[in-house]
Amino acid sequence: MGIFDFLIDTSKKIYRKEFNQALNKILNLSAAEKDYLNEVFSQDLADGLTEYELRQKISQLEYKTNDPLDYYQVGEVKKKLLEKLEE
């Protein structure tokens, strides 16, 4: 059972609370990575994201020069989240 299983109903949306709960279940995410993801997704989570939208947003994660994480770390976060979505 994966951490994003509650999104099995494709019309269901994930909001900030569920997103944070899911992030906390990913043991190999650092506090800095969680903070980064909360910042990146903050506006989108206010209105909620469907599974499709969440996958799309994660796939589009790219390093920006003002990010608190470096290029490699952003790639690793993206990889970790996509792997968890596939479980």
12-33 pLDDT per residue, tens: 888 999 899 889 888 889 999 9
Using only C-alpha atoms, what is the Rg of the chain? 12
User: In this predicted model, what pLDDT tens digit does every residue of 28-85 receive, in sequence order?
Assistant: 899 999 999 999 999 999 999 888 888 899 999 999 999 999 999 999 999 999 888 8
User: In this predicted model, what pLDDT tens digit does every residue of 3-12 receive, in sequence order?
Assistant: 555 555 566 8
- Tell me what pLDDT residue 14 has: 87
